[in-house]
Amino acid sequence: MIGQANLEDMDGLAPDEGLPTGGARSESSFSTATLAQNEDYETLAQFTLSLIKAMLQAGFYEPGHPEAEKAQTNLYTEFRQALEDRSEITLLLATPGGDPTIMIEGFGPAPLPLDEVMLKGMADMFAPKFQEFFDRRHLLSFSLKKAISPEEFHSFIALMSEPPRITGTGEERDRLTAAFVERDIIHISTVFDEDIVGRERRLPWLVEMAVSRLRRDLQVLPLYRRASEEELRSIKMQNIDDVIRPMRTPTLLKDFLVNCDLLAADIDGLNESCLEREIIGQIAEDLLAPTASALVEDLEELRMRSDALQAESTSGFTDRRLSVLQRLTERLRHVGGEIDHGLFESLLEQGLVTLEELPAGLSYELETRRLADDFIDRLDENLRALRGSAAATNHELVAIAERVFPELLQRRDYAAAAALAEVMQQSQRTAPERLEDGALAQAAPPRGAPTPEPEGLLEALSVSLCDATRAALPRLVEDLGQQEKEDRQHAVALLAFVGEPAGPRLIEAYADSDLKSVRLASFEAMRQIGPEALIPFLKRLPEIEKEWSGIRRIITILGEQGGAELATPIAHFLHHENAHVREAALTAVCSLSSNEAEHHCVTALRDRRPQVRAAAAAYLADLGSRDPRAMEFYSTALRADDPAVPRESDDVLVRICRALAQIGELSVDDATEAEAILLAALEPVSQSGLLGGLRKGQQRHSERVREAINDTLESVATVGC
């Protein structure tokens, strides 16, 4: 409330003239965005104007007055329209250029000055009164969150429109805070003059407001007793997200993080370390590494001007920045983000810190990187030593290999990592006992455990390397589409080293990628893993591979690779719609499993395509099959008497002859049966009609087929003799 005297000071206008009422839009009262005359700002301008009018009208009239209620008509609806998919809208009194001005935050990528959102006439009329509204309450900002209900919203408007009761420092803030808690207004953040912290640090105004606002939110949140722990936790994380979102540069984020120690000061039960981790957990992944670099630059600058800080030690500033740097690094590691290899090295090289001065986590990481550099420089020598007979007792080298291997994966040095994994696989081939997933039975000992016996040292290392590679699976699979061919081969080798656990990710990579290189690499990794990965892959192959040529290629490769376990899943492709795929499947099944081959070949004799039937006949011949269904097929095909049965091609008939030749070589009875089928095939076909009996019969087959029949007859006749 600003009082009647204040309203009448508004250029001498009467209330109705100076404060247009109602929610309807009009040319005289509607504001547009002078920023770019962009329609995106129309709803924001309309809501802002309506909000200011509602607060001023509600403060002028008594509660329940028709004009006061009219001023709030459609206000909540306008708020939702302006908000759209944003998380909140904040109005704040800021001093970015030295002079106080009302700004709107949360709508665009940067805070918007009120006089640039509203038409000039409206801004000139309402902005000063709205600024006075802030000043009289010592209010600096209020944020309306997306989750606010209509009841909360209108209760907030009513409370903010009441006359301020300022009798001492913080009086108005405490009164409103108590009223918010009483009315369960939980989805609004406010910042008053008394809430500002860090003034002595001379922070950028945006950082100062962000730190102060979050500290205020954290102070107030425990007061809401009716909210559940889950609700409070959700609101807390949303508050953190809302505060850090406007800070879109590494410099602002760096300043905010370095000054987060102000948040937990004098707040009981608030763990500064946990809070810092929660804040860093909300930072966008693409800003993590740049913010870490900004911190390093800050440390360098701090050391350069240390002489000017004669009265203050720089150790506290350095420790604070290093602590934040360590937590940023932990988050980067967790999300698989890139960390500049020279980021921390520059701290040491420029004498900003010593290795001993770094926090334990950072010093360990830097030492690991240096060990990795040395390991790579002497890679061939180290690999020979691990292959040698003394490897099982070389505790130091094994420990170094275990320590640097995750670093190699982090750097994407897949060549060195794959070479080390290959050495471990060679040691596994001599191990007598293995786990089902391909890892060795003896697990790596935990930290602090007794040193393994020599015979278990390499086995424990192998398990440790396999676990590290398994943890890097998402990145390895992702990199199949980003690496050069040689690097992809190394990534494939590492994926194969993981074994069966890599299978599901490889199947998804094959299914989701349109890049031929990714699909080929994914299949190659599964092929190297073996049936554990290939059987699930073959089950999904018809749905994830639409090109018949791709399916045929895969089946052909697997048929040549061997492995009886694959015969059954490949046999499903004998019913594929494409004949080339069916033929490849038949070839693969016959190659992989002689037990199942005869059954599938006999079935394939009824295939609708000649090339499949020809292949089936050839394989049956190789098997020396005397299956009655096969013999019946041979006889029917060579007789060719039944007009309902399609005539076989010459290729199929020639293969049938070869099959009969091999069958006839088995025994006299087999030779007699084969001879009968062949002789029947040489009988000419009788001519039809009245004179048919007088005409010479027509040959059943071509000269090529008859020649094959005669050659086969000579073969089986010899057996019969």
Report how far residue 357's alpha carbon sits from residue 341's, in angstroms, rounded to the nearest whole number. 19
Report how far residue 266's alpha carbon sits from residue 270's, in angstroms, rounded to the nearest whole number. 9
Report how far residue 186's alpha carbon sits from residue 156's, in angstroms, rounded to the nearest whole number. 10
Helix (H, G, I), strand (E, B) or coil at 144: strand
Report how far residue 360's alpha carbon sits from residue 523's, in angstroms, rounded to the nearest whole number. 42
* pLDDT, tens digit, 9 for 90 and up, residues 68-103: 566 667 889 999 999 988 999 999 998 766 778 899
- The confidence band for 383, taking pLDDT boundaries of 50, 70 and 90, is very high
Is the pLDDT confidence value at 159 over 90? no
> What is the arithmetic mean of pLDDT over 338-349?
71
> Pairing relation of β-strands 101-105 and 88-94?
antiparallel
pLDDT number for residue 697 = 59
Report how far residue 165's alpha carbon sits from residue 183's, in angstroms, rounded to the nearest whole number. 19
Amino acid at 315: S
The count of other CB atoms within 10 Å of the CB of residue 593 is 19
Buried b (16+ CB within 10 A) or exposed e, 429-468: eeeeeeeeebbbebebeeeeeeebeeebbbbbbbbbbbbb
- The answer to which of 101-115, 160-174, 517-531 has the lowest mean pLDDT is 160-174
Report how far residue 263's alpha carbon sits from residue 197's, in angstroms, rounded to the nearest whole number. 9
Phi, psi of 355 (to 5 degrees): -60, -35
pLDDT number for residue 33 = 38
Report how far residue 251's alpha carbon sits from residue 339's, in angstroms, rounded to the nearest whole number. 17
Q: Residue for token digits 């040292």?
A: 457
Q: Which residues lie across from 113 on neighbouring strands? A: 103
CB 653 within 8 A of CB 708: yes
* pLDDT, tens digit, 9 for 90 and up, residues 215-261: 999 888 888 888 888 888 888 899 999 998 888 899 999 999 999 88
What mean pLDDT, rounded, does the chain reach? 80
Is the pLDDT confidence value at 442 over 50? no
Is the pLDDT confidence value at 324 over 60? yes
pLDDT number for residue 59 = 55
Of 110, 114, 109, nearest to 93 by C-alpha is 114
C-alpha pair distances (Å), 501 with each of 422, 462, 532, 534, 685: 18, 16, 9, 12, 64
Between 612 and 686, the more confident residue is: 612
Three-state secondary structure string covering 208-255: HHHHHHHHHHHHHHHHCCCCCHHHHHHHHHHHHHHHHCCCCCHHHHHH
Buried b (16+ CB within 10 A) or exposed e, 323-357: bbbbbbbebbeeeebebeeebbeebbeeebbeeee
Domain residue spans of the chain: 1-195, 604-721
Q: Which residues lie across from 685 on neighbouring strands? A: 698
pLDDT number for residue 510 = 94
- The answer to which of 236-240, 328-332, 398-402 has the lowest mean pLDDT is 328-332
CB 509 within 8 A of CB 480: yes
Report how far residue 215's alpha carbon sits from residue 51's, in angstroms, rounded to the nearest whole number. 26
Q: How far is CA 637 from the centre of its chain?
A: 58
Report how far residue 401's alpha carbon sits from residue 403's, in angstroms, rounded to the nearest whole number. 5
pLDDT number for residue 648 = 82
> What is the arithmetic mean of pLDDT over 483-487?
83
Q: Residue 84 — left, alpha, or beta (φ > 0 → left; ψ -120 to 50 → alpha)?
A: left
* pLDDT, tens digit, 9 for 90 and up, residues 184-201: 899 999 999 999 998 888
- Residue 698 is classified by DSSP as B
- Cβ-count burial of 548 within 10 angstroms (0-12 exposed, 13-18 middle, 19+ buried)? middle
Q: Residue for token digits 């069966």?
A: 500
- The confidence band for 338, taking pLDDT boundaries of 50, 70 and 90, is low
Report how far residue 104's alpha carbon sits from residue 208's, in angstroms, rounded to the nearest whole number. 16
* CA atoms lying within 13 Å on the CB side of residue 448: 0
> What is the arithmetic mean of pLDDT over 320-330?
85
Q: How far is CA 490 from the centre of its chain?
A: 22
Is the pLDDT confidence value at 66 over 70? no
Q: Which residues lie across from 89 on neighbouring strands? A: 144
> What is the arithmetic mean of pLDDT over 459-481?
90
pLDDT number for residue 9 = 34
CB 24 within 8 A of CB 17: no
- The confidence band for 64, taking pLDDT boundaries of 50, 70 and 90, is low
Report how far residue 221's alpha carbon sits from residue 236's, in angstroms, rounded to the nearest whole number. 8
Sign for the CA dihedral angle at 517, 519, 523, 526 comes to positive
Q: Which residues lie across from 141 on neighbouring strands? A: 92, 191
Sequence-ordered list of residues with C-beta below 8 angstroms from that of 512, at least 6 positions apart, any chain = none
Which range of 323-332, 415-424, 433-442 scores highest in mean pLDDT? It is 415-424
Phi, psi of 192 (to 5 degrees): -110, 170
Is the pLDDT confidence value at 345 over 50? yes
Q: Residue for token digits 């892959």?
A: 537
Cα angle 700-705-708, degrees, rounded to a multiple of 5 = 130
Of 179, 265, 254, nearest to 223 by C-alpha is 179
- Cβ-count burial of 57 within 10 angstroms (0-12 exposed, 13-18 middle, 19+ buried)? buried
pLDDT number for residue 253 = 93
Is the pLDDT confidence value at 496 over 70? yes
Which range of 415-429, 459-473, 595-609 scores highest in mean pLDDT? It is 459-473
Report how far residue 207's alpha carbon sits from residue 247's, in angstroms, rounded to the nearest whole number. 8
C-alpha pair distances (Å), 358 with each of 259, 326, 407: 20, 9, 19
* pLDDT, tens digit, 9 for 90 and up, residues 513-560: 989 999 999 999 999 999 999 999 999 999 999 899 999 999 999 999
Is the pLDDT confidence value at 31 over 90? no
Task: Provide the percentage of residues in the chain whose pLDDT is more than 90.
Answer: 28
Element (H, E) at 383: helix 379-387
Is the pLDDT confidence value at 15 over 50? no
pLDDT number for residue 199 = 87
* pLDDT, tens digit, 9 for 90 and up, residues 265-323: 777 767 888 888 899 999 988 898 899 889 888 888 877 766 555 444 556 678 888 88
The count of other CB atoms within 10 Å of the CB of residue 270 is 15
Is the pLDDT confidence value at 454 over 60? no
Report how far residue 635's alpha carbon sits from residue 658's, in angstroms, rounded to the nearest whole number. 13
Between 82 and 441, the more confident residue is: 82
Three-state secondary structure string covering 440-507: ECCCCCCCCCCCCCHHHHHHHHHHHHHHHHHHCHHHHHHHCCCCCHHHHHHHHHHHHHHCHHHHHHHH
CB 575 within 8 A of CB 582: yes
Helix (H, G, I), strand (E, B) or coil at 266: coil
- Residue 575 is classified by DSSP as G
Largest Cα span, the chain: 134
> What is the arithmetic mean of pLDDT over 638-642?
81
Indicate the pTM of the whole model.
Answer: 0.58
pLDDT number for residue 437 = 40
Give the neighbor-by-neighbor strand order of the sheet with 139-145.
Answer: 112-113, 101-105, 88-94, 139-145, 188-192
Give the CA-trace dihedral at 502, 506, 507, 512, to 10 degrees.
140
pLDDT number for residue 547 = 92
- The answer to which of 131-140, 323-332, 363-372, 431-440 has the lowest mean pLDDT is 431-440
- The answer to which of 355-359, 506-510, 579-583, 695-699 has the lowest mean pLDDT is 695-699
